[in-house]
Amino acid sequence: MTITTRFAPSPTGRLHVGNIRTALHNWLWAQRNGGRFLLRIDDTDAERSEERFVEAIHADLAWLGLAPDAVVRQSERFALYQRRFDALVEAGRLYPAYESAQELDLKRKILLGRGLPPVYDRAALRLTGAERAALEAQGTHPHWRFRLDHDAPLAWDDLVRGPQSFDPATMSDPVVRRADGSWLYMLPSVIDDIDMGVTHVVRGEDHVSNTALQLQMFAALDAPAPAFAHAALLTGAEGKLSKRLGSLGVDHFRGSGIEPQAVRALLARIGTSDPVEPLVEAAPLVAGFDFSRFGRAPARFDEAELAQLNARIVHQLDVATVADRLPAGMDEAAWNAVRPNLSTVAEAAGWWQVIEGPVSPPEPDAEDRAFLTEAASLAATLDWGADPWHALTGALKAATGRKGKPLFLPLRRALTGMDHGPDMAALLPLIGRERAVARLGG
């Protein structure tokens, strides 16, 4: 059996961080087992689905390095859904219901007012053929419900949550098709999972009750159900479900200078017993991915943690990986010199400006001015092919008696305009003799 997972977004908006985490989990599980990762575009809602969002989904997954092995679109599979639909109607598992949304809402309110669960009363099943014909003659088109078998318990061993069990008698028969003929999520998803050979459905815990209902749909279609893994939902740094998480997506991360490797490294591990590590390559994430390591508690997503992780990722990136994002002229030596001080790749441009100049150092006091003048004279005589920084500071220490901060800080300020930054031993050769002498001499 080939392990097969699927990521099934609706193209009604951009992917957010919760979607990205689900896609990553599906990809990691498929990779871990040498299986297939499928992308299913759930575009049955013609009014809300937009092609620009389909394109964005492909672009976002590509940026994250999550390449699907195949892509299908639900809008191209309506004939398959209709065949399965007709078979379920013939088997008595689907039935037409004629209540309006207002009538159903009133029924729910009455039940709740009596302290009862708002479960659909199956009134549509008591209609006679003549009553249904009369309703349709009046222009009332039915929606369709899947008839649950109240004698078949709904249970499965979830790969994250452990044993799960629901009583079907406490659940409403789910609506699977609207009165206008359009499809809801539940039944087409099951039909696709069967047709595509999906072995593992990996999604958020907000789908647990859907899974309970869909188990009977698999059985009604004479197909074994896949394994299910429902990960705990993400929460914000404040420890509560955050609407902000719904607005954080690839565009936001890219605009903030976050690397895809950092997003992967964080989202693969939060909510598990494994430490979050700055792993540039996906292989260790794949090798260690195991649903048994997931906890039941909500997974805490913290942008500050992502930013810190990103910096540690950036510190490992070689120049070939970032070359197309570096300023013109910045080579490997310059990248290696400034890389340890970067939080994002974009910050390299600021340090390249420091190297190339001009810089605007603070005005030194009289004592430091004399010290810098001497430094300029010494810098002009150094062998710049060796280690000019240590040669310069060693000569100045011997000549002036300065050491520590009084020795190094005035030099750094004059040469870079900054009080801190990359190792001066790496930076000074990049600045070069001519610019260094000019900056030291004021």
- Binding site, residues? 243
Q: Which helix (H) or strand (E) holds 254?
A: helix 250-255
Across 222-249, b (16+ Cβ under 10 Å) vs e yields eeebbbbbbbbbbbbeeeeeeeebeebb
What radius of gyration, in Å, describes the C-alpha atoms of the chain?
Answer: 32
- Token readout for 266 is 């964080």
- Token readout for 179 is 């009165």
* DSSP conformation letters of 312-381: HHHTT--HHHHGGGSPTT--HHHHHHHGGG-SSGGGHHHHHHHHHS---PPPP-HHHHHHHHHHHHHHTT
Cβ-based neighbours of 7, under 8 Å, separated by 6 or more: 22, 23, 26, 27, 37, 38, 39, 40, 61, 66, 68
Helix (H, G, I), strand (E, B) or coil at 1: coil
- Binding site for ATP, residues? 243
> Contacts for 27-30 with beta carbons within 8 Å, 24 or more apart?
27/66, 28/268, 28/285, 28/286, 28/289, 29/3, 29/5, 29/200, 29/202, 29/229, 29/289, 29/291, 30/3, 30/4, 30/5, 30/69
CA–CA gap between residue 177 and residue 189 (Å, rounded): 12
Could you tell me the CA-to-CA distances from 373 to 315, 370, 376, 382 in Å, in that order? Answer: 35, 5, 5, 15
CA–CA gap between residue 199 and residue 193 (Å, rounded): 8
CA–CA gap between residue 193 and residue 188 (Å, rounded): 9
How buried is 347 (Cβ within 10 angstroms: 0-12 exposed, 13-18 middle, 19+ buried)? middle
Task: Please calculate the CA angle 156-162-166 and round it to the nearest 5 degrees.
Answer: 45
Q: Where would I find the H helices in 65-207?
A: 78-90, 101-113, 129-137, 186-195
